[in-house]
Structure 1
């Protein structure tokens, strides 16, 4: 297992380099750059002439290396990341990229991790119930809810909940804190206020994941329950609880474990869409604004973050799969 982990870690380095190159290349494809819009702002808002604005924008391009060829820009970006941990400068936020990302990463990981845990835990439990109570009223209800969960986009559900709670119930559910707690220092009251708001994005993002896991768990468990060794166990008088949770569940849950590796990046992407609608202080709105404003260093760093999480998630999923199923071996 140790040799496998080392081999996977070494192989992930060229893959991440390739991902970073493609992402950086795509981000530089649109005509112009951030300084183009900055130049327009100088002429329309600052009152500078077109020549003065262009001269100032060119000075900014030279300062941050935007006047250099694409390959040189990419090389300098990667070199600064590897040698100095410097992800570049965010022109839109006027701050280093690292500060923008890490100031928002905590809430992003918190929401995505809670959604991940709830979607797996609830999806597996509901899937087991539906499989062991096939064609009952409860099974039909959960199946319909699962179809709704995989069909309704996250942004639509966020808008629906925002409208219902804000206009029908008079509850403020946007953001993670009430207005009086946004800039307040941490306290027990602020923590309680966070709990009153954070459940909304968790429900929205985790709903689709729970529905997918429920459908996968139900289908796999029904397939396993029809196999011959399960019928043999029942014929020998093994209790139904032991048959389901010891013999059938171990094989039926394997696809859920394999999906854990790539689920977290999708949850973070879902959190991004929900965060934009609910105006959450997470990476979602910052990533969206970086794309709109061609803030390429910030956008590229976000894409690299998702790629690293995907690689690490797949590695953890493979290790967990080998631990759960003794037949799986990585040599």
Structure 2
């Protein structure tokens, strides 16, 4: 197990270094740079930026350096000083911009994941135990519908219903009077009153998919010899069900733990844009449009790091939960 962890950590570091290089390269693939974007925006407003000012801006941001020099300056500052650089568009440190919004993204991700778990596993277990019953058909139908409908379409439908029938927008996480207010009980309660909609929209497809996975895994376990043997020995059905096949079929519960860490930063970008949520997703989208390379690169690098760390944590949780997986790791 120890050798397995050391090997995984080493591969993680190499993977992150490769991702950082490819990310920085891809960001610079589109023609132009941040200064070119500023010039195009100024020309659209009828303004003119002189060549001297453009040259001064490129020198200030280091955009005239070669690709390798820019990459090394960026990655070395991250590794040795923990400095992700400054955002061109916001003129603020990247780390400050990200952490300003990461709290709401984290809260949204955790709330969604808890809802998905709370709904998916009971329904998935019921569907497997009562296979081909009316309840199973209903769960299957809604599962397929939930997986088929795009999340952004659900968001638009809910926003239209809110405006049409309730006279208020379904977007945002706060009422106008609480947007810039300091945190207090009133603002927290206002957050909870708005949070249910994005949690519902984001969680529908995840819930539908996890119901199908739980049902399929449990059906695979219910007809194995050890279950038949335990039932023949007279073990009560509910005890047999919860102690053995359900335990073995709950691997998706632990594998989805790895989603939590990258979700802390991504915050469901498309839904956040549609619903105007003050999470990290819209910030990443805006930075991509303006070619704010340090902000975009830092976002992707942090997402990649959280993804590989989350995957490792999920694997370790699975090894702790399932002795079959643990034995395979011990042989590594």
Match for 2:230 among 233, 245, 261?
Answer: 233
Residue 137 of structure 2 corresponds to residue 144 of structure 1:
no
- The Cα offsets for residues 231-252 of structure 1, whole Å up to 9 and x where unpaired, read as 1111111111112111111211
Distance 1:175 1:227 in 2: 49
Distance 1:178 1:112 in 2: 21
Distance 2:290 2:65 in 1: 19
Structure 1 spans left out of the alignment, 5+ residues? none
The answer to whether the 8 A contact 1:154-1:270 is kept is: no
Tell me, what secondary structure is at the counterpart of 2:89? coil
Distance 1:94 1:46 in 2: 24
| Deviation of 1:259 (Å) | 4.6
Partner of 2:73 in structure 1?
A: 76
| Deviation of 1:8 (Å) | 2.1
The answer to whether the 8 A contact 2:287-2:293 is kept is: yes
Partner of 1:20 in structure 2?
A: 20
Partner of 1:281 in structure 2?
A: 278
The answer to whether the 8 A contact 2:109-2:260 is kept is: no
Tell me, what secondary structure is at the counterpart of 1:174? coil
The answer to whether the 8 A contact 1:201-1:271 is kept is: no
| Deviation of 1:9 (Å) | 2.1
Match for 2:245 among 229, 242, 248?
Answer: 248
Distance 1:47 1:323 in 2: 62
**Bigger Cα displacement from structure 2, 165-174 vs 108-117:** 165-174
Root-mean-square deviation over aligned CA pairs: 1.9
**Bigger Cα displacement from structure 2, 167-176 vs 267-276:** 267-276
Match for 2:108 among 103, 106, 111?
Answer: 111
| Deviation of 1:221 (Å) | 0.5
Within 5 Å, which residues of 2 pair with 1:201-240? 201-240=198-237
- The Cα offsets for residues 8-39 of structure 1, whole Å up to 9 and x where unpaired, read as 22321111010111111111100001100212
The answer to whether the 8 A contact 1:261-1:310 is kept is: yes
Partner of 2:99 in structure 1?
A: 102
Distance 2:135 2:261 in 1: 29
Match for 1:122 among 93, 109, 119?
Answer: 119
- The Cα offsets for residues 64-87 of structure 1, whole Å up to 9 and x where unpaired, read as 111111111111110111122111
Tell me, what secondary structure is at the counterpart of 1:23? helix
Tell me, what secondary structure is at the counterpart of 1:280? coil
TM-score, normalization: structure 2?
Answer: 0.93
**Bigger Cα displacement from structure 2, 36-45 vs 240-249:** 36-45
Tell me, what secondary structure is at the counterpart of 1:207? helix
TM-score, normalization: structure 1?
Answer: 0.93
Distance 1:114 1:180 in 2: 24
Q: Size of the alignment, in residue pairs?
A: 328
Match for 2:166 among 165, 169, 188?
Answer: 169
Distance 2:68 2:110 in 1: 36
Structure 2 spans left out of the alignment, 5+ residues? none
